């Protein structure tokens, strides 16, 4: 999902932040740096889905104080329809609370190309949502939102470590984390049993062996290997890590992808692919969901979308990623998943 902001006049970052907080999304969004004085404080707002009051916000915007501004939201399409409805409702509530004109547009799989074009040309969206390590690709093209991050840190009692790892680039917050969806294996115990596999595998060697049996049974496993913006990452990073591979050193100063550990992961995947439908090479984010729910595959990796779509089914189950011998990584509902964050593009209009 990507969010686009065009302000017809200057707005303080705290005013904008508090206005979004009134819509229940305080910890999700940030505004640009501004020399405009902060607006007066308003009553406490509660987090989305929470019945308890949120901590009081300094510099919150009064209703209607952002009238005359436009917020164009360039949003991806969620696989779970309720998430789309939630986004629309948040936009309507934000408009009502602040007076902003909020518009929502959805581009689907064209989102990434749109973000790249905006950052390259310097025109278009000012705020967008990205995932995983994307912030490191954009770096100093994004605004420094450290001040806003510190405000949220104080008000909401601290950031999770994963938020800091994902959003801080060279000591500065270049985005604000809005969520993280852990990844897991979705599998059909009935298909596994029928194929002679008594339980979900604990190691990658066992997973490969199970995949061979399930292919022979006619219900192969499927892992997204196409250019999916979400599933391709949450499927493949855990495999790389399980074999000890990594893109960068822990301190981020060296590229480490060319390693014996990475080659081990590739060797495993080469064998695993032979047990999967060839269509996995073209799978986008919805495709493995649809294949699993249509009983075309017996297992696939996913965040919560398959679970939400099929949670009433008695046949499906969820399982952590396997462990790999000699490596401490254990993909317990893999902490990677899809880390989503909001970033603000540098733009002289908003500085």
Domain borders along the chain are: 4-180+339-350, 184-334
Q: Which residue has the tokens 């490191």?
A: 136
pLDDT tops 80 at residue 267: yes
3-state helix, strand, coil in the chain (%, to 5): 40, 15, 45
Are 63 and 97 in contact by the 8 Å Cβ rule? The answer is yes
The mean pLDDT value for 224-236 works out to 85
pTM: predicted TM-score of the whole model, two decimal places: 0.69
Domain 4-180+339-350: assigned CATH number: 3.40.190.10
CATH superfamily of 184-334: Periplasmic binding protein-like II (3.40.190.10)
Distance CA 168, CA 343 (A): 11
Instruction: Check residue 342 and give its pLDDT.
Output: 63
The predicted structure's pLDDT at residue 94: 86
For 318-335, write each residue's pLDDT tens digit. 888 887 645 544 444 444
Q: What are phi and psi of 119, to 5 degrees?
A: -70, -30
25: CB partners within 8 A, 6+ apart: 48, 90, 94, 178
Angle between helices 13-21 and 146-155 (to 10 degrees): 40
Q: Is the fold of 4-180+339-350 the same as that of 184-334?
A: yes
178 confidence band (pLDDT: 50, 70, 90):
confident
pLDDT tens by residue, 239-262: 898 898 988 887 778 899 999 999
Label residue 337 by pLDDT band (50, 70, 90).
Answer: very low
Cα–Cα distance, 211 to 215 (Å, whole number): 6
| Angle between helix 81-98 and helix 13-21 axes, rounded to 10 deg | 120
DSSP run (H or E) holding 127? strand 127-131
């Amino acid at each position: 999902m990507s969010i686009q902001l065009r302000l017809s006049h200057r707005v303080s970052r705290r005013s904008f932040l508090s206005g979004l907080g009134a819509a229940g999304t305080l910890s999700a969004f940030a505004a640009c740096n501004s020399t405009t004085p902060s607006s007066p404080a308003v009553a406490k707002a509660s987090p989305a889905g929470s019945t308890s009051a949120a901590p009081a916000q300094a510099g919150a915007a009064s209703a209607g104080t952002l009238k005359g501004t436009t917020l164009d939201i360039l949003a991806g399409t969620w696989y779970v329809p309720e998430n789309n409805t939630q986004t629309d409702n948040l936009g309507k509530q934000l408009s009502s609370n602040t007076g902003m004109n909020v518009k929502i547009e959805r581009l689907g799989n064209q989102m990434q190309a749109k973000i790249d074009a905006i950052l390259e040309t310097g025109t278009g969206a000012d705020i967008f949502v990205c995932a995983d390590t994307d912030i490191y690709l954009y770096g100093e093209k994004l605004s420094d939102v450290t001040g806003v991050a510190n405000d949220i840190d104080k008000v909401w009692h601290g950031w999770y470590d994963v938020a800091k790892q994902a959003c801080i680039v060279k000591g500065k917050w270049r985005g604000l984390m809005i969520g993280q969806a852990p990844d897991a294996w979705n599998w059909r115990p009935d298909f596994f049993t029928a194929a002679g596999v008594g339980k979900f595998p604990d190691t990658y060697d066992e997973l490969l062996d199970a995949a061979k049996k399930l292919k022979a049974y006619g219900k192969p496993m499927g892992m997204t290997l196409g250019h999916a913006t979400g599933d391709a990452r949450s499927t493949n990073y855990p495999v790389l890590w399980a074999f000890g591979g990594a893109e960068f050193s822990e301190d981020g100063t060296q590229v480490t992808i060319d390693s014996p550990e990475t080659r081990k992961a590739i060797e495993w995947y080469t064998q695993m692919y032979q047990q999967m439908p060839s269509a996995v090479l073209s799978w986008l984010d919805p495709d493995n969901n649809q294949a699993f729910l249509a009983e075309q595959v017996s297992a696939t990796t996913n965040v919560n979308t398959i679970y939400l779509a099929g949670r009433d089914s008695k046949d499906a189950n969820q399982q952590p990623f396997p462990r790999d011998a000699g490596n401490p990584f254990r993909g317990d509902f893999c902490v990677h998943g899809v880390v989503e964050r909001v970033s603000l593009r540098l733009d002289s209009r908003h500085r």
